[in-house]
Structure 1
C-alpha cells in the first residue's frame, strides 16, 4: 500500500551543519567579550584578536543561513537560535564599545531597541506568516558588522573618523528597515476584508 507516508519528507535533524554554526556563534560571544575586556580597547594585539573573533562569528551568520536554505536544513531550533545568536553577538559588541567610551550610548540603545523589538515582533506574528529578512535587512547587518569591525580594529589615526560615518549609515538603515518590518507585521495582523 502506498500513501502519503511514502512520499513524506524525512524530518530535518536538529544537529546539523547550519545549527552547528549557530551554536559556534553563541560559543564565540563570551570569547569575544573576554578578548575585548582584556584589550580594554587600548592594547592593539588583543583588539585585533577580538576583531578577528567577531569577524569569524559574523561570518557564521552568513554561512549558516545559506547552508540551511541550500540543503534543506531549516529547523524550528535554528529559527529561534539564529536571531538570538545574532543579537547576542551584535549586542555584546555595541555594549562593550559604549562601555569603553568608543561608541555613544544612544547609538547602542537605538540599535538594540530596534533589534529586540523587531525580533519580538517576528515571534508575535509567526503563526500568521514569516517576515523574511529583506535586502535592506542584509544591508543593515553588513553596515553594522563593518562599523563594529572599524571600531574594534586599531585603525591609524587618519582612518578613525570614518567609523562614525559607517555607524551613522548603519543606524539610518537600521531604523528604515525597522519601519519596513512594522509595516509588514501590520499587514499580516490586519484582518482580511
Structure 2
C-alpha cells in the first residue's frame, strides 16, 4: 500500500511532507483550502500570527494546526483521539522542532470544555456525526474576545447565535467557513 502525503503550504515549515495515516473519518484538508484559510487569517490578523493561540480539535494529520505554527503562532494545541495519529503528530512535532506545538491525546468535547482564550479554533470533525451541533455551545468559553472559528462541513453552515460568518467557500464536497465570535453579545 502506498503512503499518501500532503504538504505544509506556507511559513517556516513550508513544503514539509505529512504522511496521511489510514484512519476512519480522516479527511485531510486539501492544500488549496488551507492556503485560502491562511490567506483569510492573514487578512483579518494583518499577517500577525506571533501572539495567536490556536486549538485544532480534530487534528488528524495536524495540517491545519501546523500551518499556524509554521506561520509563527505562539501556541498550537493539536487534539486527536486516534492513537496512531497522535504518535504521528508527536513524531512530526519532534522532527520539525516545533516548540509551540503540543499534542493532546483525547476527546474534542473534553478538550474544549477545559479551553480558554484561544484566538482560533479549527473544527474539521468527521462528517454526519453531529459534532458541530455539540461543539458550538462550548466555543464561547474557549475563545478570546473576537476569536475566530474555522469549520468544515458536508453542507453550508449558518452563523450560530453570537457568531458572524466572515468567509465561506466550497471545495469538492467540503464546505468551509470562517466565523468570528462577538464577545459583546449576550
Using the size of structure 2 for normalisation, the TM-score is 0.26
1 or 2, which has the higher strand percentage?
2
Using the size of structure 1 for normalisation, the TM-score is 0.25
More RCO (CA 8 Å, sep 6+): 1
Structure whose CA Rg is larger: 1
